[in-house]
Copies of this chain bind each other. A is one copy, B any other.
Amino acid sequence: MRKIAVLGIGQIKIDEHWEKSLREIGGEAAFAAMQDAGVDKVDSLFVGNMLSPLVSGQNQLGTFFADWVGLWHQEAVKIEAACGSGAAAFRAGLMAVASGDIESALIIGVEKMTDKAGHDITAALATAADADYEVEQGISFVGLNALVMRRYMHEFGWKHEDFAPFSINAHANAMYNSYARLHEKISVEKFERSSMIATPINLLDASPVGDGAAAVVIVPAERVASFKGKPRITVAGSASATDTIAIHSRKDSLFLSAAYQSSKRAYEMAGLKPEDIDVFELHDAFSIMSALSLEASGFAGRGQGVRLGLDNEISPKGRVPICTRGGLKARGHPVGATGIYQIVEVIQQLRGECGQTQVEGAQIGMTQNIGGAGATILTHIFNVE
């Protein structure tokens, strides 16, 4: 496959942007990425979004944003894979440029969530699950994740507080990321005292909703010799895999087989192993997902993902740095935008722009974006050349 480089990145602070519309937040991230890339035009636009039909009454976001950011007549399309929409849009753009039919792509991940009240958003997020066999029974998306977490605790003997390090690490790192939704250090005590949402998931196990947008510009690697003194960063591995949409259909509800498959394929494509990864932006929508993602991607044995947190291995100075900019937990989780935030953050790490949470000497970074309760999982590996 043709080698592709990430030329520019952009993002906005995740927040309750009641003063800005869907097109404004997506446009800000797009312009930031194009400015960073030093281009004012690209061949194509791929937009990752999950909720705009339900929250903003707006479909056709490809053309909607091509129009808004001045890419008139260019190709544009929207990609949706629930909370995995961002990385799915990135991969669609990657395939398109890799095909040789187009020479550049802007990929925007964007989500406006706070224009609707909480119960509407809860219902909208539940469209990621199986409408006929899960949601119809009355369960919410957090409820599904709660079932998985409870089973994991039962099966492997962990207590709720054992998950605290994931959230503490995310919150600690977000303190140094001005784009993050939450800037608040937390402790084990605070974690344990937090309000219950769906037992055993409490408020500090769960990522916050928010309005956000992030964007990247990609081009064939041969077009990028060097760029403003920044390193050339290319896509070393890319893969997408699926599992059953309903968790009750899985032989093993505690193993993210789609994470296993997509990370396996991405490692193979890159010719790398888990131990080669310097920084890993994983999909900690709920603390249980951090553990499962680490296990399925080869960083911990079955049922041992939480140990990495307890052993203090997940901080920027640890063996497996995760959520170095705050993760979904504290940077925020504007669902369709999240996959692009992860990519932007890994590029920042590989450029050495992360200040207090910089992983020293990071040369290889990985992102993993999840749609549904482990149903669609995309893994990407980036490296400095």
Contact = CB atoms under 8 A, between A and B. Distances in A.
B63 A242 contact: yes
Contacts of A59: 50, 80, 82, 127-128
Given A60-B371, A74-B242, A79-B92, 9 more contacts: A2-B100, A51-B53, A58-B131, A60-B375, A61-B80, A67-B245, A73-B257, A75-B242, A77-B92
A322 interface: no
A240 interface: yes
Interface string A211-228: 000000000000000000
Interface in A193-240: 238-240
Interface string A237-280: 01111111110010000000110010000000000000000000
A135 B99 contact: no
A95 B101 contact: yes
For this chain, the copies found in one complex come to 2
Chain A interface residue number, banded:
35 or more
Q: Which 10 A-B pairs have the closest CB atoms?
A: A98-B99, A59-B127, A60-B82, A75-B240, A58-B131, A95-B96, A63-B242, A57-B131, A95-B99, A63-B375
Nearest to A88: B77
A183 interface: no
A79 B62 CA distance: 10
Contacts of A60: 80-82, 84, 127-128, 245, 371-372, 375-376
A122 interface: no
Contacts of A50: 59
Majority secondary structure of chain A interface residues (helix, strand, loop or mixed): mixed
Given A77-B376, A242-B72, A63 B371 contact: yes
Interface in A1-59: 1-2, 21, 23, 50-51, 53-54, 56-59
A95 to B, nearest CB: 4
A1 B99 contact: yes
A53 B127 CA distance: 7
A171 B52 CA distance: 36
A73 B243 contact: yes
A283 interface: no
A241 B81 CA distance: 23
A134 to B, nearest CB: 11
A64 interface: yes
B73 A81 contact: no
A319 B135 CA distance: 52
Contacts of A58: 127, 130-132
A369 to B, nearest CB: 12
A76 interface: yes
A78 interface: yes
